[in-house]
């Protein structure tokens, strides 16, 4: 398996920047970086009504799509677990 490129939507960048604690923000970014090595890590879930996946990082959820033919992971949303699916 090749290494995937990770793309962030501008809205996802803003959501990451809005995470108040620097430590939590860094953990989320590290988790996103690891998606380039394994876009379907243990614990990831496919969202039932979409072609998206999600992984957990503490109380935050990272929602992303995978394009296997182009080896691209696109992060669509990042947010608190209570609000990310709305």
Domain 5-80 -> CATH class: alpha beta
DSSP for residue 23: H
Identify the pLDDT of residue 59. 93
The strand pair at 72-80 and 60-67 is best described as antiparallel
- Listed by start position, the domains of the chain span 5-80
58-73 pLDDT, tens per residue?
999 999 999 999 999 9
Name the one residue in this structure whose structure tokens are 């090595």: 37
- 53-83 CB burial, b ≥16 within 10 A, e <16: bbbebeebbbbbbbeeeeebbbbbbbbeeee
Identify the pLDDT of residue 86. 73
4-60 pLDDT, tens per residue?
999 999 999 999 999 999 999 999 999 999 999 999 999 999 998 888 999 999 999
């Amino acid at each position: 398996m090749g290494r995937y490129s990770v793309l962030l939507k501008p809205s996802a960048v803003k959501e990451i920047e809005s995470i108040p604690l620097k430590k939590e923000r860094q953990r989320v970014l590290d988790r996103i970086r690891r998606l380039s090595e394994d876009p379907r890590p243990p614990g990831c879930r496919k969202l039932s009504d979409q072609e998206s996946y999600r992984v957990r990082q503490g109380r935050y959820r990272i929602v992303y799509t995978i394009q296997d033919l182009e080896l691209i992971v696109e992060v669509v949303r990042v947010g608190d677990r209570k609000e990310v699916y709305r």
